[in-house]
Each structure stands twice: as C-alpha cells, then as structure tokens.
Amino acid sequence: MQNSLTINGSEIICSAKEVFDIEANSVLKLKDRLNENFLRAIEIIYNSKGKVVVTGMGKSGLVGRKIASTLCSTGTPAVFLHPAESTHGDSGIISRNDVVIAISNSGETQELLNLLPLILRFGVPLIALTGGLNSTLAQKSDVVLDISVEREACPLNKAPTASTTATLAMGDAIAVCLLKKRGFSYEDFLLYHPSGSLGKGILYKVGELMIKGDLLPVVSQEVNFSDAIKLVSEKKLGTALLVDNTGKLTGVLTDGDIRRAVIKHPDARNLKVKDVMTVNPKIIDINELCAKALSIMEKYSITSLAVVDKNDIPIGLLHIHDLLRAGVA
C-alpha cells in the first residue's frame, strides 16, 4: 500500500478534480439516453393508483432510499424496501396497484432477483435502473433505464462512485418530471414539509401576522421630513408608509432612508418626506403565505413589507420581528 505521506497536496487536488470530471461526465451522458423508455417510466408512475416501491442493495440501496424520499417530498408516494428483508415478510409492503423501481448496476444482485417472483406474480410494473442492459433484471423489467458508466471514479474501478452518482441523478430526473407533470406547487411543497421554518410558513398567512389598525405607521408624503421621523420613532417599527392624497401607497421611509438623507442634506428637517422616501416599495398581498414574504425580505435584504389592498391602499405592515416571533424566520 502506498504511504499517504508520499502524496502531496497538488496530487490530492488533482485526484479530487478527476473524481469530479468522471462523475460529471457520467451524469451528462445520461442526457443522450433519455428516450421512450424514460417517457414510459414517467407515465407508468404518474398513472399508478398506488405507491412507488424503491429497492436496491448496498450502495444502490442507499441511493434508493434517497430517491424514495425525494419522490415523497415532491408529491409521489414512495417507500424503500430492503431486498434482503423482503423474503422475511417485508415484501408484504407491495400491493397490486404499486410500481417497483429496482436498482442494480450489474442487474444480477441476487437479493434483488429473489424479489422478482413476487413482483411478477402481482403483475406490478417493474422499472429497472441498471447498467446491465442484458442482465436478468433488465430482461424481467417492463422498462429499463440505462445508468451505466464507462468507469468508476475509484482508481480501482471497483467502489460504486460514478455509477451511484448517475443513479441518483436519474432518480432526481424522475422525481422532478413527475413534480412538473402533477403541477406540484410551492404551497404543495410546504405541505409536505411541516417542520422547520418552511412548514411554519404554511401555517400563517400575511394577514394573520401583519401589523394593522392604529399601530400602522401611515403618513402623508407631503409632511415634513422631521414629522415623519417622529412617526418612525413613535411606532418603533423602523419604517413609515407614505401615501398620496387619495390614500394610495407611494413610498416608505426607513431608518436607512433617514440616515442617508441626514448625510446628504444638512438641512434635511426642512425637506418634504416625499423628497427622501424610497419609491416603489416591495409589497405583498394579505392572503400570501408568510413563507413567501420571508423569501422576498431575504432576496432584497429588507425587514418589512407593506400590505396593500387592490387599490394600493396600505392595510398592514409585515415586519421580520413578527415572523421571528411566530417561528417562521
């Protein structure tokens, strides 16, 4: 065995880059194999009245667990079945309405082949992800998706590396295509992720957390800059909503606007607030999800959003502090 001390840093970096190249090329070559078989696999899963049962041994099994998890989180019910356990009762998880995705690079994994009689007996559609296109698994499957690679990234060409990456990418392609075919929305995604900030975001709509009524910092754009500063200070929200004579939102005055105005105009107190306000502020609808509001705040590095009605009249203000208190942010 080569002593690790004889491998210098540049050689290590070179080896890592080679791994990336081999695996990236293995994934890119999958693009040329997308054909009627892939379309048929999508249709079979989409039209299934049951779930997707993903199975595979060893590294293929670990990839299979991830594929099943991704399918579940994107609107396609799926479970993972360990083929070695399938012959000890776990095969009962397969029903006649299901679809099976079997993963084996060689297509000759014995534990997987032992599961075939049950699949064939139930008449369940079988989709194979394999590099062995003439293997037993391929011959017994309804659809074969080619995940073969020219070589593994392992210098011994033994450890599953490029092949598992290619398999994972194929699984992701299946999940994403099904997601689009089902019209799976952002709101649907949140429903499948009830924990964490995303899940909490779906529990609240903007109207439930926004500041409204007498607490709302609304003032005419025609007032003096100094009067607007007093309002911002009194409401303690770091912003004021500015309106024209019809009550429509025309801009906002933030702590940042105040600092910039004072620096730029020594006599800023004599200005009209409309001269220093931020025009075209970011707004959000009262019925939108708080998760979307948080996304807008993060994108534009702001801490609050004006909530307006269909006539652009401010009816609320959603502040980052409200999202923090609710556990959304």
- Residue 294 in this model has a pLDDT that exceeds 90: no
- Residue 1 in this model has a pLDDT that exceeds 50: no
Percent of the chain surpassing pLDDT 70: 90
- What pLDDT is attached to residue 317? 94
- What pLDDT is attached to residue 7? 79
Residue ranges of the domains in the chain? 4-184, 206-326
Mean pLDDT of 195-204: 59
Fold classified for 4-184: Rossmann fold (3.40.50)
User: What Cα–Cα distance (Å) separates residue 123 from each residue in 133, 142, 235, 256?
Assistant: 21, 10, 68, 67
Q: What share of the chain is helix, strand, coil (3-state, %, to 5)?
A: 50, 20, 30
- What pLDDT is attached to residue 187? 62
Q: What is the pLDDT of residues 226-253, one digit of tens each?
A: 888 888 888 888 899 999 999 999 999 9
Query: What is the model's pTM?
Result: 0.61
Q: Residue 31 and residue 292: Cα distance in Å, rounded?
A: 33
Query: Please, how many CA atoms are within 13 Å of residue 252, restricted to the half-sphere of its CB?
Result: 24
The structure tokens listed for 101 are: 């995705």
Q: What is the pLDDT of residues 264-276, one digit of tens each?
A: 887 776 788 888 8
Give the residue, 201 or 96, on which the prediction is more confident: 96
Q: What is the pLDDT of residues 42-90, one digit of tens each?
A: 999 999 999 999 999 999 999 999 999 999 888 899 999 998 876 655 6
Which residue in the block uniquely carries the two structure tokens 């940042």?
Answer: 256
Of the pLDDT bands very low, low, confident and very high (cuts 50, 70, 90), residue 202 is low
Which of 3-7, 16-20, 143-147, 213-217 is predicted least confidently? 3-7
Q: Which CATH class is domain 206-326?
A: alpha beta
Mean pLDDT of 197-225: 83
